[in-house]
A and B are shown apart, each in its own frame.
Chain A
Amino acid sequence: MKAQSTAEMVGSRPSSRISNASSTPETSQSPNPALELCGLSKSFTLGGGLFKRGRTLGAVNDVSLRIPRGQVMGLVGESGCGKSTLAKMLLGLTSPTEGDVLVDGEPLRGADQKALARHIQPIFQDPYSSLNPRKRIAQIVGLPLRVHGIGTAREQATRVAETLDVVGLPRRAAEQFPGQLSGGQRQRVAIARALIMRPDIVICDEPTSALDVSVQAQILNLLLDLKTEFGLTYLFISHDLAVVEHLVDRVAVMYLGRIVEEGSREQIFSAPRHPYTQALLDSALTPEPGLGVPDIGLGDAMPDPSNPPSGCAFHPRCPKAQAICQQTRPRLEEFRGGNARVACHLA
């Protein structure tokens, strides 16, 4: 599929600054992380009315995270813990209630949509609903170029064809509709649409959760290839810990809108310190017959995010909880010389 380097085909690397200064990673070794989240929060108001104050739901609370250039940051946690809300803030699809997102050191707030789109692009879970069923694949993949007025119609067509090659789709797919493609091919379309803007950063929100395992492997291989090829930085959201362990450099674990632990892949998978991280790892059922299903001792008293438990939000389910856990919220403390963080009184 690749006669020449795919990087060559799609063109030089994108500019790495919000301002359009053009540079390549080789020449500008920026000291800034590709993406930095500073105290990011998002709350929603529920059920408010004319005379009634609504309740507040803190979907994301005070999240700070640095993703170094060219690395993959995994984001894990149970459904409803705020992963997609975080992703939407990074993509400019919803604005933070508090905090900032820095792209290569510069705040995203106030950056125009076009500049943003050149830097950060999404791949979502559902390749069925995220593609317009009435548009041909070429139109879907080329849409970002048209929206932002990049290139002539001819240049756009060439770029679409190149990008379809890069993601391993046959040229004839360009004239087809999403309904004519398999699930795996549709996810390749979504990846092509993300890459056509030559972003630095790709936010993958459960990109293989809707796919069968045999197809999942193809897509994971493709994501790894593209990362090396284009020096991409990924935020990779998934509930499949085996996939996360395979793909990422670092992992952040979220519980009820907060990061409860963050560290390198090795640290999180071989020496997790937060009881929630430990429970998540125990719950991952690897294909090893004879091990049975472990007793993780959590209970399923899922908390109400609009009325979070006091102290450590995890305390009602935590097998290690002590009195202090109910009273005081543990701070996210650094350890390993600042290389890892955990929020637990007993860790």
Chain B
Amino acid sequence: MSRLEVNNLLEVNNLLEVNNLRVDLPVEAGTLHAVRGIDFHVERGEMLCLVGESGCGKSMTSLALMGLLPRKARLTADRLQFDGIDLTTLPERRRSDLRGARMSMIFQEPMTALNPAYTLGNQLCEGLIRHRGVSRREARDRALYLLERVGISAAKDRLEQYPHQLSGGLRQRVMIAMALMCEPDLIIADEPTTALDVTIQAQILRLLRELQQEFGTAVIFITHDLGVVARIADRVAVMYAGEMIESAPTPALYANPAHPYTRGLLSCIPAPGKTPPGSRLQAIPGVVPSLVGSVEGCAFRNRCPQAQPACERTPPLMSLPGDHRARCHYADRPVPAPLQPEMSS
């Protein structure tokens, strides 16, 4: 059956469909449920930001999608479909082809993905030659074109250089070029600018957003930074303790966050012009629950300012108007009035 037929059969419109994805890791104390039954999708050509604090399962989710989970990890899903292709049953060989040709990944630390022993030219061209069967010369032309597009001057000389000869910002530009070599449908970028200085981060983000829109590439952008999300995302999905607790188009998430955790995250960063300098910030008390063993009821309830007895039951993923979903019993209730920020002195 051709891909087109499969698409028609299932009426797949979204590039990626994920239902009830779970990732379990055996650890000394039992089983660590790193990803606990998440549902989401990625539309063609959109920038979806996955946001959440460290340890909430963002990287495990991205590795699950790429088929790069640690060997000991166990993945299950009701549905894990990339452009109509069932990823859960795909043989590793075809999976690897897909990874090179149609999905690519950008990591936080480019050195983990770059081989220090090969020139940038070799590494840029390798995938295209292997997956698309183009000539070395064609591959080199595309590499030169993309290096220029990502703002690297003297691109020809760069092809002969080794990764360690570049600064962190330049390396991340090379990674973007490399991710675009095969014209993939999906790029997963896991905290690609977290290690960079703010001025470099701004330039890399602007570039990534421009190219993503120009080439119509879908991007899953993973970050913990709600400032970054606001500026680049079409849609946002918020993760907490291995669950996806809210998703919405970007403007809606910031204007009407429906989950208490999202509201907490947004109010604990000082907002210039809004938070009076020196005033107390609204912290989220407590810590994330352990992901080893099962979590009863709402995973956020011990830290939630709005928790009720009902929260001991697992909250449903509630649908709100405008493609907005939140996993909270009270997601559709009006938001309680915010506490007045008190001055500290």
* Bound form: Cα–Cα A295–B203 in Å: 7
A111 within 8 A of B: no
Q: Closest residue of chain A to B255, judged by CB?
A: A289
Most buried by B among A285, A286, A290, A302: A285
Chain B residues near A246 (CB-CB < 8 A):
270, 275, 277-279, 281
Chain B residues near A285 (CB-CB < 8 A):
198, 201-202, 205, 225, 227-228, 230-231
| Contacts A214-B53, A247-B277; A289 near B197 (Cβ below 8 A) | no
| Contacts A214-B53, A221-B283; A286 near B266 (Cβ below 8 A) | no
Size bracket, chain B contacts: 35 or more
Interface string of B210-241 (1 = CB under 8 A from A): 00000000000000111111111100000000
| Contacts A214-B53, A224-B278; A242 near B269 (Cβ below 8 A) | yes
* Bound form: Cα–Cα A246–B275 in Å: 8
Chain A residues near B275 (CB-CB < 8 A):
246
Chain A residues near B264 (CB-CB < 8 A):
214
Most buried by B among A296, A298, A300: A300
A217 within 8 A of B: yes
* Bound form: Cα–Cα A58–B232 in Å: 38
Most buried by B among A225, A242, A287: A287
Pick from A213, A283, A289: contact of B254, CB under 8 Å: A289
Chain B residues near A290 (CB-CB < 8 A):
251
**Interface pair B270/A245, CB less than 8 Å apart:** yes
| Contacts A213-B269, A289-B250; A78 near B197 (Cβ below 8 A) | yes
A218 within 8 A of B: yes
**Interface pair B271/A286, CB less than 8 Å apart:** yes
Q: Closest residue of chain A to B173, judged by CB?
A: A300
Interchain nearest-CB distance for B224 vs A (Å): 7
Interchain nearest-CB distance for B29 vs A (Å): 14
- A window 82-128: CB within 8 A of B: none
Chain A residues near B198 (CB-CB < 8 A):
78, 239, 241, 280, 283-285
Interface string of B319-335 (1 = CB under 8 A from A): 00000000000000000
**Interface pair A287/B53, CB less than 8 Å apart:** no
Chain A residues near B167 (CB-CB < 8 A):
300, 302
* Bound form: Cα–Cα A243–B272 in Å: 9
Pick from A265, A287, A294: contact of B271, CB under 8 Å: A287
**Interface pair B271/A293, CB less than 8 Å apart:** no
**Interface pair B202/A212, CB less than 8 Å apart:** no
- A window 280-310: CB within 8 A of B: 280, 282-296, 298-300, 302
Interface string of A257-281 (1 = CB under 8 A from B): 0000000010001000000000110
| Contacts A79-B197, A217-B282; A224 near B202 (Cβ below 8 A) | no
B310 within 8 A of A: no
- A window 215-244: CB within 8 A of B: 215-218, 220-221, 224-225, 228, 239, 241-243
* Bound form: Cα–Cα A216–B284 in Å: 10
Q: Closest residue of chain A to B286, judged by CB?
A: A214
**Interface pair B202/A265, CB less than 8 Å apart:** no
A182 within 8 A of B: yes
Chain A residues near B201 (CB-CB < 8 A):
283, 285
Interface string of B195-210 (1 = CB under 8 A from A): 0011111110110010
| Contacts A214-B268, A217-B284, A228-B345; A287 near B227 (Cβ below 8 A) | yes
Using CB atoms and an 8 Å cutoff, list the residues of chain B in contact with chain A.
53-54, 151, 167, 169-170, 173, 197-203, 205-206, 209, 224-233, 250-251, 253-254, 264-266, 268-272, 275, 277-285, 287, 344-345
- Jot down 16 A-B pairs with beta carbons below 8 A, ordered by A: A182-B287, A213-B269, A214-B265, A214-B283, A217-B269, A243-B270, A245-B277, A284-B198, A284-B227, A285-B198, A285-B205, A285-B231, A288-B230, A291-B231, A300-B200, A300-B203
